[in-house]
Amino acid sequence: MSEPGAGSDLAGLSTRAEVHDDHFVVRGQKIWTSGAHHADFCFCFVRTDPDAPKHRGISVVIIDMKAPGVGVRPLPELTDRHHADFNEVFFDDVVVPRDHLVGPLNQGWSISAGSLAHERGMMWLGSARRLDGTLERLFQLGRQQGPDGRRIGDSARFRDTLASLYVDSQAMWFMGYRGFAKFARGHVSPEHSVLKLFGSEIAQRAARLATETLGVDALDVDFQGWSFDESRGPVPWMRQYLLTYGGTISAGTSEIQRNIIAQRVLGLPRR
């Protein structure tokens, strides 16, 4: 979905797909494409009617990542020194068969709503499980001795913050179950936006608690006091904290989620 000039504003995408009788010709660039260097196909949002209003004229096509004209370039980042999850993808006159169109022509905007809701729901499931592991390691951290010689868990601030995080994590699980139950019945589920916002910011608070508690030790990204991520294994707390900022951006930034919640849940006017 994302492009250099169209991140949170999906409707601002400029990657073009010229429509022919039996195929499309795609030109443009995407960015922050997770796993593109491993992917066999990509689910690509393209503009098929440049004269239509920006929320219309968008279509979705499945593109073979080995097709001529597809180029992938990794985007290394500070928190991912060993392999690049993110990539730029370039499309230089890539021919895509017409039957690779997903849904009706020029109706990609409506597809994006379902796709993003699914992504946010899956992010909730993953982040809720990771948060459970993070909290367990915070409990372990609380049993350790702090710089002042006292047990870290004896600090009232540490205990209160950890208790608040635990309550919020349980609320996140229950809200997620309610949202998926609605989704399964075919109802609109605003919980997915709430969960994405809530979950990403809880994870950030949890990692911040650990880094603030460790003090100067946390400034060493290789310090062996770590959190744990199922996809990455042991992760030093400082790197875990830095990683949480990506969670507040992917699948729609926190600012975008607040706009969606304000308009679609609270019914506030758009300004």
119 belongs to the catalytic site: yes
Going by pLDDT thresholds of 50, 70 and 90, the confidence category of residue 41 is very high
Question: Do 199 and 128 form a contact (C-beta atoms < 8 A)?
Answer: yes
> Is residue 51 scored above 70 in pLDDT?
yes
Question: Do 23 and 48 form a contact (C-beta atoms < 8 A)?
Answer: no
Q: Could you read off the pLDDT of 26-38 as tens digits, one per residue?
A: 999 998 888 888 9
Cα-based torsion angle of the residue sequence 235, 240, 243, 248 in order, rounded to the nearest 10 degrees: 140
19 membership: H or E segment, kind and range: strand 16-19
Q: Could you read off the pLDDT of 91-137 as tens digits, one per residue?
A: 999 999 999 999 888 888 877 766 666 665 566 666 777 888 889 88
% of the chain with per-residue pLDDT over 70: 83
Phi and psi based region of residue 114 (left: phi greater than 0; alpha: psi -120 to 50; beta: remaining): alpha
Q: What's the CATH code, domain 10-105? A: 2.40.110.10
> What is residue 180's predicted lDDT score, i.e. its pLDDT?
76
Region 168-180: what's the mean pLDDT? 84
Going by pLDDT thresholds of 50, 70 and 90, the confidence category of residue 150 is confident
> What is residue 228's predicted lDDT score, i.e. its pLDDT?
47
What are the domain boundaries of the chain? Answer: 10-105, 109-265
> Is residue 183 scored above 60 in pLDDT?
yes
> Is residue 44 scored above 50 in pLDDT?
yes
> What is residue 221's predicted lDDT score, i.e. its pLDDT?
58
Q: Which residues contact 262 (CB under 8 A, 6 or more apart)?
A: 268
- Centre a 10 Å sphere on the Cβ of residue 171 and count the other Cβ atoms it contains: 13
Q: Which residues contact 244 (CB under 8 A, 6 or more apart)?
A: 200, 203, 204, 207
> What is residue 188's predicted lDDT score, i.e. its pLDDT?
65
Cα-based torsion angle of the residue sequence 223, 229, 230, 231 in order, rounded to the nearest 10 degrees: -90
Cα-based torsion angle of the residue sequence 82, 88, 93, 98 in order, rounded to the nearest 10 degrees: 90
Question: Do 162 and 142 form a contact (C-beta atoms < 8 A)?
Answer: yes
Residues β-bridged to residue 234:
228
> What is residue 40's predicted lDDT score, i.e. its pLDDT?
95
pTM: 0.67
Question: Do 138 and 162 form a contact (C-beta atoms < 8 A)?
Answer: yes
Q: Could you read off the pLDDT of 58-79 as tens digits, one per residue?
A: 999 999 999 999 999 988 776 6
What is 109-265's CATH number, 2.40.50.140, 3.50.50.60, 3.40.718.10, 1.20.140.10? Answer: 1.20.140.10
Which has the minimum average pLDDT: 15-29, 82-96, 161-175, 236-250? 236-250
Which has the minimum average pLDDT: 6-20, 32-46, 76-90, 253-267? 76-90
Of 18, 88, 119, 230, which residue is the catalytic one? 119
DSSP per position, 108-168: HHHHHHHHHHHHHHHHHHHHHHHHHHHHHHHHHHHTSB-TTSSBGGG-HHHHHHHHHHHHH
> What is residue 122's predicted lDDT score, i.e. its pLDDT?
62
